[in-house]
Amino acid sequence: MERFDIIIRDDQKSHAYADNIRYKLTTNGWIYDPINPTTVIVVGGDGSMLHGISQYIDHVETMKFVGIKTGTLGFLCDYKDDEVDLLIHDLTTNTLVIHDYPLLSVKTDGHHHIFYAVNECRVENIVVSLDMQISINGEYFEDYRGTGMCVTTQLGSTAYNRSIGGAVIQEGLDAIEMTPIAGIHHMAYRSFQSPLILSATSQIKMVSPSFENARLGIDALSYPLDGCTMVETTLSHRKVHIVHGKTMSYLNRLSQLF
């Protein structure tokens, strides 16, 4: 029997939709289980979806995530707010299309655990400019100076990465992308200014003599980098399973949202 949890955007409209979904699923024999769900339903937008995935990040491979959009942005949420009955039908009849998206694995020399990102990892400092040496697959690439660096998955290429001038990577391509955040470029400092799309097996290492006051952004979360000298990113073998219940091409979704 399917067990489900509901992640809800904190507004009256989203709570009302969530109550309706909970009632209709339990009426169809589903079990509401926020401790050990097999399906996580997100009522809100992309921010709510990222929050829901981060909440279950340690067990993300054992469940699927499906979103209904009541917020302002719903690239990860496949159903609109007037499609509750369609959502219930697709869930209870298992007429779903599930896409598997690899997570970005992020390690530092100052934290004792691995961070996992759905969209991107950001190393940034808004107080002072960062000095970092960038290497790719163990090979020196450049000395960078500026606000920071964004490393994104294919799925996350339409998010923060796009807003800082990064390229949008077509769905289905195994790749990660590195995009500089406000790099300094003049006679004294010059680094690669364009987004760099790399193969899915690439390892990106950022080393600095001091990350004091810098932050490590993992999707919507942020962690201090004080005391760290190294941040390493790779594409993980772990994957998040996101439901796409309707037939809509990737380009169609892009054109509707942007």
Amino acid in position 218: I
Classify 60 as helix, strand or coil.
helix
Closest to 18 (Cα-Cα) out of 59, 70, 96:
70
DSSP label of 154? T
Closest to 144 (Cα-Cα) out of 81, 203, 205, 226:
205
Alpha helices in the chain (DSSP H): 12-27, 46-55, 84-93, 160-163, 250-257
The answer to whether 148 and 214 have CB atoms below 8 angstroms apart is yes
Query: Measured between alpha carbons, how far is 100 from 98 in angstroms, rounded to an integer?
Result: 7
Q: How far is CA 44 from CA 77, 119, 163, 240, in A?
A: 8, 17, 21, 18
Q: Active site residue: 10, 11, 19, 46, which one?
A: 46
Query: Measured between alpha carbons, how far is 175 from 155 in angstroms, rounded to an integer?
Result: 10
CB neighbour list of residue 176: distance below 8 Å, 6 or more residues apart: 104, 151, 152, 153, 154, 197, 198, 199, 200, 202, 204, 233, 235
Q: How far is CA 180 from CA 65, 129, 161, in A?
A: 31, 12, 9
Query: Measured between alpha carbons, how far is 158 from 141 in angstroms, rounded to an integer?
Result: 25
* 46 catalytic residue (yes or no): yes
- What amino acid positions are annotated as catalytic residues? 46
